[in-house]
Amino acid sequence: MTAPTIKLPAPLFARLSPHPFLLRNLTATAAAADPARPPAARTNGRGTNETRPLHAKASSLSHAHGSSLVRLGDTTVLCGVRAELLPVERIPLFRPVDRVGDGERGGGDGGDGGDGAGEGGRALLGRGELRDYDLLVPNIELATGSAPQFLPGVPPTALAQTLSTRVYSLLHSTGLVGVEDLRVWSKPGSGEGGDTEMEGAGEAQEVQEGVEEEDRVVAYWVLYIDLLFVSFDGNPFDAAWAAVVAALRNTSLPVARWDPEREMVVCSRTEKRQLNVRGLPVACTAAVFEEKELGEVGTGVVEGRHWLLLDPDRLEETLCREAITMVVDCSDGETRIKSIEKQGGTTIGRELIRGFAVIAEKRWKEVQGAMK
Amino acid sequence: MPREAEPSLNEKQFVTQALQENLRLDGRQLDQYRPLEISFGDQYGVADVTLGKTRVLAKATAEVTVPYVDRPLDGIFTIATELSPMTSPAFEVNRPTETEVLLSRLLEKTVRRSGALDTESLCLVAGQKCWSVRVDVHVVSHDGGLTDAACVAVVGALRHFRKPDTSMEAGRLTVYTPAEREPVPLSWLHSPLCVTWSFFGDDGETAVLDATWLEEQVRVASCTVSLNKHGEICQIAKLGGTPVDAVALLQCTSVALVKVKEFSDLLDRRLAEDLKRRDKGGFMAELRAENDR
Amino acid sequence: MTVTTTAPQAALGVLPRSDGSAKYSHAGYTLTASVNGPIEAQRRDEHAYEAHVEVIVRPAAGVGGTRERHLESLLQSSLAQLILVKNFPRSLIQIVLQVEDSPENDYVNTKLVQASLNLAIMPALVQTAILALLSAGVPMRATATATAVAVVHQDGAKKTVVDPSPREVETARSVHVLAFTSHNGLLLAESEGDFTVGEWDDVYETAKGICCRAGPAKEGTAMVLDDEEASATDMRQFLRSTMESKVAADLHWK
């Protein structure tokens, strides 16, 4: 007796019952001893731990200060960075900073609270400049038609808002861009020389002699980081974050100096200065696919099998509830975790997160290669 | 969204008839308020007002912004009211209902237009920088008397609020953090409060103070009088409904004055108590002492 | 600066007109939550096989922005795992969280609308939502407890701070929020800053000690627990005692 079999073409099967479709694909080898059948894989042909290759192309926009185009399979993100000058008079809560105080911190803007609680006030203020004056403004748009679920003429979806919060938080917590790069001082001397000299406190004092006005910050660069999803096929955060990093690495700002006669900031037409980007944080996302459809989680023991699908596509994302994103940076030789975001279930426990750090490290190397 | 169930015909008749016989469902007198309680939060500018089962929360905040072009010498003062689904699932986020619109307009007229807060004192640099004071009114639980409770909460929050201290030196404005300098209170001129009368019966001959939600659904007309404890009327709103005898309305306003005096005293007392509580050493005082410059 | 670790406080059923409600305050945060459900769902939110869980987070000041949307989505995905959503197809379970008071950083003048993620409020949000759901009698698989831990580097020494103040969050090298179900499953893990796997492990241990003190959930352990001196904050025990006192108060007439 053979069980009656209904032959369904794969796309129809996927459409009708996506969960069993993915499950069958993942358990293919177990079901069939037939050597002709392909080994267990995801519906997109990848292994569970296999990511889509990341392609990054820099300066794809001609009128932006920096831009990038990142492709992750069928997910394509375009990122443009536009810089605008913000005079300090227009900042309501502006507090003057002095260069010496800045030098003491040794560029520690990025988030090490090394200065501790003692001389907290000013140092902390410097750290908060980026956030208090809103110097980094990311915005994410999911273009109509990039995926069927995005409709025209509706307010930003919850997904777009969530993504932009995540990008914003990560930009600040990783300290990717230092505030000293965005400051425009009233005295030249350190500006053109690149930011390494900016920390030389002695130099600032030299310039001071014989001048009636003291050196002060006159303006800030505000970086508008706009992301546009041209096509959307899952894993938006990894792609968006890679695009932001690639675009910022590509950004160069015109050299700006203060013109005391006209009392305004003047930008050079030709001279440009590369933006300093600290480190290379890379995001790595995986979703948990459970054998039991509409899984019964939360009882502590994991019922049924589950698979950790790295770099999930759109179909997989709709079938998974639990997801983990880890952002790592191995550029100093040591693996530093910048962020972990795990939500939506209890399958991923401590061991899996530990193991995931290794996967994220591997991903970092791949992305580093692609970013070169 | 699910709609609120309206009281049945029987219920309506019962409530109206009882009121005509000078009886209220909760046993109060017709001109008696439910117990009003005010408490303040740990942070400055948080006032929590309960009136029977009605509970309103107000939070005041201040921020430095650019003043409006047509009013360069004035600061900005806004009152934001939103009825969240917490009040009732019938309310939806970002979709104002009539109740909400009326409430925010009444509060606006009572507190803002009566000049309770000196907006000129909020100006920092003419035409360039000013304080923007904002009060968020959160209705946590709604059982009638929303306007009266919300008004007490707004006034309480603003009087309790302290904004950061500022200084001008050589044309440069510095806003001090609370750790550097003790925040300062707003320049407050008078405290207008609302008293709402509800009218029942065919000609609106029964006037009732502080109607509950059930009574509010049954009433034929209502009138909100806003005045301060000096007896200065800031606004009167009788928005449609059955016509009410003018002389009766006059009687209402004089009773309202008594109630407003009661509330003002309670508010003064609670504010004084809170001040005392804050002064009594503790963590904050310690923090202040070591940072006094 | 020392943090006065005050014990959490909670009251259930504070709102007369909602199905369930709770007021919770801990570490400077005060929140009120209301739960209504299962109620009729709107067409666009209706699921054929399960209840739609809607979470609304309302800040104390200003209108909710992208930050609140993110918090909502985090809570939504976690709570939907705990609620037995299959029991109520085509309906809605609505959870509204109103922030009443949050600790302020005395060293900065904060802006009204902030876009960056506020991790420190997460534990209070989770706890309040769970208490409100319990008060509403919404059937759940498990309860959850959450805590925030910050790793602070001070004078070259590493220090883990539980329930960090806003200032500690600002100076911390990394901030972590972990939520555990009552079956000791890791429900939510959010971390940001700069840390290693080893550091995260330590944080995990600390958080687990706070959230899952009661050990494996078994019948009859309650007796043993009562004898144990609640030295520091023990979230699970707190949840249990809050519920017990509420039930005792409700059954007072018997």
Which CATH number do you get for residue C88? 3.30.230.70
Nearest CA in chain B to C45: B1
Contact with chain B for residue A95, Cβ under 8 A:
yes
* C254 to chain A, closest Cα gap in Å: 34
The residue among C88, C171, C182, C201 with the most chain A CBs within 10 A of its CB, best to mutate, is C171
Local structure of A345: helix, strand or coil: coil
Contact with chain C for residue B96, Cβ under 8 A:
no
Phi-psi region of A33 (alpha: psi -120 to 50; beta: other; left: phi over 0): alpha
Which pLDDT does position C105 carry in this prediction?
Answer: 77
Which pLDDT does position A151 carry in this prediction?
Answer: 84
Confidence band of B258 (pLDDT split at 50, 70, 90): very high
Which pLDDT does position A293 carry in this prediction?
Answer: 65
The answer to whether residue C48 scores a pLDDT higher than 70 is yes
Which pLDDT does position A116 carry in this prediction?
Answer: 36
Local structure of A277: helix, strand or coil: strand
Task: Name the strands in the sheet holding A282-290, side by side, starting at the edge strand that comes first in the sequence.
Answer: A306-310, A282-290, A322-329, A336-343, C186-195, C174-181, C144-154, C157-162
* B174 to chain A, closest Cα gap in Å: 6
Instruction: Report the percentage of chain C scoring pLDDT > 70.
Output: 87
Is residue C202 one of the residues assigned to a domain? yes
Mean pLDDT in residue range C199-216: 82
Contact with chain C for residue B138, Cβ under 8 A:
yes
Contact (CB<8Å) A113/C171: yes
Q: What is the pTM of this model?
A: 0.87
Which pLDDT does position A112 carry in this prediction?
Answer: 37
Is residue C245 one of the residues assigned to a domain? no
The answer to whether residue C10 scores a pLDDT higher than 70 is yes
Residues with pLDDT less than 70, chain A: 1-4, 6, 29-40, 98-127, 188-214, 293-303
Domain extent at residue C163: 9-106+117-238
CA distance C121 to C67: 12
The residue among C69, C71, C138, C202 with the most chain A CBs within 10 A of its CB, best to mutate, is C69
A92 contact residues in B (CB cutoff 8 A): 63-66, 129, 175
Is residue C46 one of the residues assigned to a domain? yes
Which pLDDT does position B280 carry in this prediction?
Answer: 61
Interface of B with A (CB under 8 A): 63-66, 128-129, 172-175, 177, 179-180
Closest Cβ opposite residue B64 in set A89, A93, A121: A93
Instruction: Report the percentage of chain B scoring pLDDT > 70.
Output: 95
DSSP C45-77: G--SSSPEEEEEEE-SSS---HHHHHHHHHHHH
Mean pLDDT in residue range C31-43: 90
Mean pLDDT in residue range B92-118: 88
Contact with chain B for residue A24, Cβ under 8 A:
no
Nearest CA in chain A to C144: A298
Is residue C247 one of the residues assigned to a domain? no
Q: Greater confidence, A122 or B23?
A: B23
Mean pLDDT in residue range C119-144: 93
Q: Greater confidence, C66 or B261?
A: B261
**Tens of pLDDT along B173-218?**
888 888 888 889 999 999 999 999 999 988 888 999 999 999 999 9
Is residue C1 one of the residues assigned to a domain? no
Which pLDDT does position B3 carry in this prediction?
Answer: 73
**Tens of pLDDT along C95-116?**
999 999 888 877 776 666 676 7
B128 contact residues in A (CB cutoff 8 A): 89
* Architecture of the structural domain at A59-200+215-274: 2-Layer Sandwich (3.30)
Is residue C190 one of the residues assigned to a domain? yes
User: What are the φ and ψ backbone dihedral angles of B4, each rounded to 5 degrees?
Assistant: -70, 140
Spans of all domains in chain A: 59-200+215-274, 282-370
**Cβ-contact B30, B36 below 8 angstroms:** no
Contact (CB<8Å) A92/B63: yes
Which pLDDT does position A235 carry in this prediction?
Answer: 92
A348 contact residues in C (CB cutoff 8 A): 186, 189
Cβ within 8 Å of residue A217, ≥6 positions away: A88, A96, A97, A183, A184, A185, A186
Is residue C198 one of the residues assigned to a domain? yes
Closest Cβ opposite residue B84 in set C39, C96, C103: C96
Is residue C81 one of the residues assigned to a domain? yes
**Tens of pLDDT along C160-206?**
888 888 888 888 889 999 999 988 889 999 999 999 999 999 999 99
Number of domains comprising chain C: 1
Which pLDDT does position B175 carry in this prediction?
Answer: 85
CB pairs under 8 A between B and C: 88
The answer to whether residue C35 scores a pLDDT higher than 90 is yes
Nearest CA in chain C to B64: C111
